[in-house]
Amino acid sequence: MVASPVWSVDPRTGQQREQVGTEATAADVDAAVRAAHAAREPLADRTVRAALLRAAAGRLDAASEEIISTADAETALGRPRLTGELARTQAQLRAFADEIEDGAYLGITINHTDKDATPPCPDLRRYKIPLGVVAVYAASNFPLAFSVPGGDTASALAAGCPVVVKAHPDHPATSALTGAVLRGAAAEVGLPADVVGVVHGFEAGVELVKHPMVAAAGFTGSVRGGRALFDAAAARPTPIPFHGELGSLNPVVVTPAAAQERAEEIGAGLAGSMTMGTGQFCTKPGFVLAPEGEAGDRLLAALRDALADAAQGPLLDGRMREAFLAGVAARTELDGVEAPVLAGAGDDDQTVSAGCLTVAASKLGQPQYELLLEECFGPVAVIARYQDEDEISSTLSRLPGNLTATVQLSGGEAAGDAGTGARMLATLTPLAGRVLVNGWPTGVAVAPAQHHGGPYPSTTSTSTSVGATAIERWLRPVAYQDASDALLPPELRDANPLGLPRRVDGRWEY
């Protein structure tokens, strides 16, 4: 059987650019996973892991021109956007290097023997160890920050887990290039290049999640694809953790006072956020609750004007474009749904135009309108007009889990007046992993306190894929009981030879 070729395609023209390689067979996947598994022991050294991540960041910087040019040619995301994404990717790698050296992520906890406790406590020492080989499924819309050199890979390597990445078919050349950069960084610091492997093809993705040496998986993509892999991970003879980011509507609530105070600002801000990257951000605000009345009309007018001026652009591939056009058409066919600016096909066969849909919030309790409460990937948002706060609560109660939820408040409400702001935050908190006040969700800061995840279907676990705690997905705790100091790993010995932060008998030591 001849392996299928892997082609890089220009989304601006739909034409093939170059053949990158061939789709991996089951034997190819097996070889990549086994090679990664064999690299676990060399990767165990925390100092070497930190050096690897910093070397990778440096090599990405050195190859930046080729990486950005290649990524732009096969994603059409634009050099400014990709330049920022590459800088973010480097920052993630360096942040996890710092996290390794700090050592707090190990969660070292020691309880000395206490015979007087109830019940008596033996000598217990707990920390976290790496799971093993991690399968990473690259995202379509972030060819760098959520793909081969992205946050899943960086956090897994930081944890001490080798990685095999299933490249996304929308940017195979970028994946091959950045994979070579990471493998070169490994060789630079004396590690086997196979601490990072890259495979291509749909079947490769299926084989990866089933491989007995794969210990965990990270995914960013569609609900359908992610759920299939999640189910496969759970159905294995030995199930594995599957940390999937699947889809998100990212609701926004605009209070009447906020609309009265700054309708035009909110309308323009919404347009900028929902069209960023041609609406292909996982945090795109796709559903907005805006008040009926004059202030809400002003907001909608500002949104309409901004969208009318928004540039057309290509989506990442033809399949996504077809799904977007079909999704918009299905929504506009619903009774009572209007399109102040109709999103749809652009001026050529590759582009799309941005738009918005409006509907009375009171209709959303009817089964035929459930489609409006689902993500439509691309530059479109649904604006539901509500009458009162009860209608806000009723509508939000029907939403699935989300990565983000945003409330736009007036100055007084943000300061705590009348309790409106506090009620809105309490209502939104169960819906999302990140709740914003007077901002826009597109753009996810790389910071220790960040959380990029949320209730299902936005993610399949309670973990984050961005920020320092993303490393926790690839670790498991182990406790040693009544082991002599000589038998313990250095991290748990009384003398603390590695100088790591730890909690001893209830007190933190640094």
pLDDT value at 112 more than 70: yes
378 closest CA partner among 488, 293, 302, 276: 276
Average pLDDT over residues 116-126: 96
Q: Are strands 251-254 and 402-408 parallel, antiparallel or unpaired?
A: parallel
How far apart (Å, rounded) are the C-alpha atoms in residues 61 and 57?
6
Any domain includes 281: yes
Choose the catalytic residue: 85, 99, 207, 245: 245
Q: What is the CATH number of the domain that holds 358?
A: 3.40.309.10
Q: What's residue 418's pLDDT?
A: 82
pLDDT value at 503 more than 80: yes
Any domain includes 167: yes
Residues 35 and 184 in one domain: yes
Residues 177 and 261 in one domain: no
Choose the catalytic residue: 85, 99, 282, 491: 282
pLDDT value at 159 more than 80: yes
How far apart (Å, rounded) are the C-alpha atoms in residues 210 and 49?
27
Q: What's residue 3's pLDDT?
A: 80
Any domain includes 69: yes
Residues 232 and 310 in one domain: no
Residues 150 and 213 in one domain: yes
- pTM of the predicted protein model: 0.95
Average pLDDT over residues 261-271: 98
Structure tokens at 185: 């960084």
Any domain includes 340: yes
Residues 210 and 82 in one domain: yes
Average pLDDT over residues 391-400: 97
Any domain includes 489: no
408 closest CA partner among 276, 302, 332, 280: 302
What percent of the chain clears pLDDT 90, i.e. is strictly above it? 98
How far apart (Å, rounded) are the C-alpha atoms in residues 288 and 339?
14
How far apart (Å, rounded) are the C-alpha atoms in residues 55 and 49?
10
CA distances in angstroms from 10 to 70, 73, 77, 255, 382, listed in the order given: 10, 6, 11, 43, 30
Q: What is the count of structural domains for the chain?
A: 2
Question: Which residues span the domain enclosing 413?
Answer: 251-437
Backbone φ and ψ of 245, nearest 5°? -105, 115
Cβ proximity of 313 and 343 under 8 Å = no
Instruction: Identify whether 161 is a catalytic site residue.
Output: no
Q: Are strands 313-314 and 133-137 parallel, antiparallel or unpaired?
A: unpaired
123 closest CA partner among 454, 493, 495, 431: 493
Q: What is the CATH number of the domain that holds 135?
A: 3.40.605.10
Residues 305 and 229 in one domain: no
pLDDT value at 1 more than 60: no
Instruction: Identify whether 245 is a catalytic site residue.
Output: yes
How far apart (Å, rounded) are the C-alpha atoms in residues 26 and 233?
17
Residues 276 and 241 in one domain: no
Q: Are strands 163-166 and 196-199 parallel, antiparallel or unpaired?
A: parallel
Residues 376 and 335 in one domain: yes
Residues 423 and 468 in one domain: no
Any domain includes 48: yes
How far apart (Å, rounded) are the C-alpha atoms in residues 133 and 236?
16
| Cβ within 8 Å of residue 499, ≥6 positions away | none
Residues 296 and 398 in one domain: yes
Average pLDDT over residues 97-126: 97
pLDDT tens digits along 332-364: 999 999 999 999 999 999 999 999 999 999 999
pLDDT value at 2 more than 80: no
Residues 431 and 389 in one domain: yes
